[in-house]
A and B are shown apart, each in its own frame.
Chain A
Amino acid sequence: MNFSVHNTPLDTPVPGTGSTAGTAPILELRDIRIEYKGHEVVHGVSLTVQRGEVIALIGPSGAGKSSLLRSINFLEQPSAGQILVNGQQVQGQAGRRGAIARNKALATHRRDVGMVFQQFNLFPHLTALENVVLAQVHSLGRNKDEAVARARQELAHVGLTGHEDKYPAKCSGGQQQRIAIARALAMDPQLMLFDEPTSSLDPELGVEVLNTMKRLASEGMTMLVVTHEMHFAEDVADRVVFMADGAVVEEGPAEQVMLHPASERAKTFLSAVRGR
């Protein structure tokens, strides 16, 4: 299907709710399909995220977890399916390199959805503070003073007071990832996406990031986390979604999926990762 250019209220009620507003889930993915060069890697995944929920997306590499997560803010263009935020369908266009924010609807959607990348993707030519200020000024139109004050607040929030003037290259990986989290939080997102946020960190530095994420979860932030950190999935997530081969194999309350998986595929995966 084609994704065109506007946020439009959906004519059809959201199934199970009978209404499009108020009670609508914060995020709903309907039958999302993603293709690379004609090869489908995500085969029609549907997922509903309620406000304040923390969902861990786990599964073997190549399961399509990251592709699915990235499609939520159109860094990957779904080849089919619908993405609804608060019951409103979001429609976007993407180019080869992620996307140029060609239209306001897409840009607005992206401001509402915070994204934390595996490789941090901080802007290397800007200090920690400037990294957190930049999009506030240029995407949200906040004035500079307000943006700076907010940036200091968010950097403090992730435990980085005193590091404001450092360039990313002078920060540890864990600090860089926390700057990236602060950068996303400063945009007042309704929902935060984490794409393997600790996978490129030493275990010791990963803990800093995981603790920050735990705190966000306890503050009620809605989070969708692609992760290989099984303890995080078990301890912090409300729900765990297990994906393999481009499809959701099993999903449910964290304890149920992590400790008593029903599917053979999830059992095999979990016993393999826990056996390490």
Chain B
Amino acid sequence: MELLVLLSSGIGQTLGITFGALLLGSVLAVPLAALRRSELPAASTAAKILIEGIRGVPPIVWLLLIYFALGETDLKLTTFQASVIGLGIVSTAYIAEIYRSGLDAIPGGQFEAADALGMPFGAKFFKVITPQAATVVIPPLATFAIGLLKDSALASVIGAQDITFRAFQEAQANLNGLTVFMWAALLYILLSIPIAALARYTGSRLTRKVAA
């Protein structure tokens, strides 16, 4: 029980890194997905190269790159901030592809109907396209978020004080690694369950409307 309390002190950083990176990725992925779907071949090719480039590098390498690269500058980043940025970059590439698949799933007739009604871009995008794309995007986005929660353990390598970091410290101090990491594993499971449940709930609510 004491162990659980000790490990729980890392929950804040684990969740902070996960949701920070997810938020950063969700926002930056919007322009990247737009670029990827651009009619200009140069823009879509550039976006594709960027996405493949980001995805081609292991997340842990990204974390180390950001950590050391920013260490060279005058920016004083905490390990937490470096982790959010590193995993945020990785998330951007994956989420951009998720957005793109969501937009690709919408029939061209939906864009045409909105255009034929003279709807301005904002209304077309937010009232017609996004609500429909959301049903396609949410399930893979939730899967990605759960994956990211687990990948956030990598941040312990650069010293972010998350669950895994706490477990490492405890295991090294008291040589009780097996027990400690079993508790850590349980903690990760407990954290991922609500994310999955929330995603299922939102997804089914949205789908029920459209597929009714």
Contacts and interface: CB of A to CB of B under 8 A. Distances in A.
B119 interface: yes
Nearest to A119: B109
Given A95-B39, A124-B132, A138-B127, A101 B115 contact: yes
A124 B128 CA distance: 9
A274 interface: no
Interface residues of A, number: 36
B131 A125 contact: yes
Nearest to A116: B116
B128 A123 contact: yes
Nearest to B211: A169
A100 B119 CA distance: 9
A96 B113 CA distance: 15
B56 interface: no
Nearest to B206: A125
A98 B118 contact: no
A266 interface: no
Contact of B117 (A106, A135, A170): A135
Given A97-B108, A98-B111, A125 B118 contact: no
Interface stretch (A15-23, A32-40, A107-115, A206-214): A107-115
B110 interface: yes
B52 interface: no
Interface in B24-48: 39
A170 B211 CA distance: 9
Given A101-B120, A170-B212, A121 B132 contact: no
A98 B124 CA distance: 13
A247 interface: no
A110 B115 contact: yes
Give the contact-size bracket for chain B.
Answer: 20 to 34
Given A125-B132, A167-B209, A99 B39 contact: no
B76 to A, nearest CB: 43
A107 B210 contact: no
Nearest to B110: A121
A52 B128 CA distance: 32
A242 interface: no
B212 A117 contact: no
Nearest to B39: A96
Contacts of B121: 100-102
Interface in A70-129: 73, 75, 95-102, 106-111, 113-115, 117, 119, 121-125
Contacts of B127: 134, 138
B212 A108 contact: no
The secondary structure that dominates the B interface is helix
A153 to B, nearest CB: 18
Nearest to B126: A138
Nearest to A180: B113
A91 to B, nearest CB: 15
Contacts of A263: none
Given A101-B119, A111-B117, A167 B212 contact: yes
Nearest to A74: B115
Nearest to B207: A125
Interface in A113-168: 113-115, 117, 119, 121-125, 134-135, 138-139, 167
B116 A115 contact: yes
A98 B118 CA distance: 12
A187 interface: yes
Interface string B170-212: 0000000000000000000000000000000000001001111
Contacts of A95: 39
A139 B210 contact: no
Contacts of A108: 118
Contacts of A117: 109, 112-113, 116
A73 B116 contact: yes
Given A98-B115, A115-B117, A187-B118, 12 more contacts: A75-B115, A97-B111, A97-B112, A98-B116, A111-B117, A117-B109, A119-B107, A121-B113, A125-B135, A134-B128, A138-B123, A169-B212
Specify which of B108, B115, B119, B212 lies most central, judged by the most chain A CB atoms within 10 Å of its CB.
B115
Given A123-B128, A167-B212, A169-B211, A139 B118 contact: yes
A124 B171 CA distance: 54
B115 A100 contact: yes
Contacts of B132: 123-125
